Structure 1
Amino acid sequence: MATKVEGRERLLAKMRALPVEVRSAIKQALAQGADEITDMQKRLAPVSATGSHGNPPGALRDSIVQTWGGDKARYSSLAGSAGAGDPDLTVRISAGNSKVRYAHLVEFGTSPHPNGGKFKGTDHPGTTAQPFFYPAYRALRKRVKSRISRATNKAAKKVAGK
């Protein structure tokens, strides 16, 4: 016994359109969230008045970047990513580059230790942690996840309502 489904073609068209609409909405929400996190990280990053390690003031702040596609930024010291493994829906935020290789030392601090090299025999007193990277992520992750969920649901309802 064969059954006929009314509106089958229309339903199939909606199902094919769903991924495109939803992916677009997710990418837009993810981009907005990544911008918010990056902006907060840059505001929280300490800026030395004289610069450090031969870099100008603000080099650490300026090294915080977003990389789309899930590729790791080269020479980054700290990184966090969001996305489901899909290159189009994956963004990685990182701090550090070829000139700024100390982001992790600023974020977590260092313990006292003996120096080597040119200053061998002297003791380094250590540095206190100045967290800027992960506090911003932790402060905004719930908001970003909610925004992505809302965008996904809204896009799915929009496609289903056509």
Structure 2
Amino acid sequence: MSITRRSSDALARRLAALPAEIVAKVQPAIQKSVNEIAADAKTLAEASRDDGDLIRSIEATGPGQTTPAYGTDGRRKLHDLQGAVTAGAPDVRHAHLIEFGTDPHVNGGLFAGTQHPGTDPQPFLLPSWRLNRARVQRRINRAIRKAIKEASA
């Protein structure tokens, strides 16, 4: 299933209809999950360690918070039921190049005209999500079920 504007709007309407008490009880599960994913991303990024700037730039952003300005997809306010793990800082703008690698190309700037051989990908964000996806889904589903059960009791 692809995400379209219509399906995204429909999801936003359904999320807005959730009682605040249920949202509040699910948020800790989301925060714990993004913290675990960020920790695993930092561990996996060790393979590409040069000076540690990339590893230090990996951040977990919890529900309702704002992502860092120089994060993977820029500054944005997250929904109350959304978390994000980003990588990047004002002086660390190469997370995507490490994650996905680069193709061979002709250099510009200081080394203009020289041939760069490209770099192999050293993924750290996507594998950390894949490692945690099932556990995150179970944890959040369990929190939702518990919150609904308590709200209806």
TM-score (norm 2): 0.76
Work out which of the residue numbers 117, 132, 137 in structure 1 matches 2:129. 137
In structure 2, runs of 5+ residues without a counterpart are 1-17
CA positional deviation for 1:47: 5.5
In structure 1, runs of 5+ residues without a counterpart are 1-17, 52-56
**Could you report, residue by residue, the CA deviation over 1:18-67 in whole angstroms, capped at 9, with x for unpaired residues?**
82432122101101111111111011003666x3xxxxx21111100123
Whole-angstrom CA distance in 2 between matches of 1:101 and 1:86: 22
**Could you report, residue by residue, the CA deviation over 1:93-142 in whole angstroms, capped at 9, with x for unpaired residues?**
10011011000000000111111122112100111100001111122122
Q: In structure 1, what residue type is equivalent to 2:23?
A: R
Decide whether aligned partners of structure 1 residues 27 and 115 sit closer, same or farther in structure 2, where only a CA change above 3 A counts: same
TM-score (norm 1): 0.73
Paired position in structure 2 for 1:94 = 86
The count of residues paired between Structure 1 and Structure 2 equals: 134
Runs of 4+ with >6 A deviation: none
Whole-angstrom CA distance in 1 between matches of 2:88 and 2:65: 17
Same amino acid, percent of matched pairs: 43
Paired position in structure 1 for 2:9 = none
Q: In structure 2, what residue type is equivalent to 1:155?
A: A
Paired position in structure 1 for 2:34 = 34
CA contact (8 A) 1:109 1:130 kept: yes
How much is the aligned-residue C-alpha RMSD, in angstroms?
2.4
Aligned-partner SS, 2:46: coil
CA contact (8 A) 2:47 2:122 kept: no
Paired position in structure 1 for 2:70 = 75
Aligned-partner SS, 2:85: strand
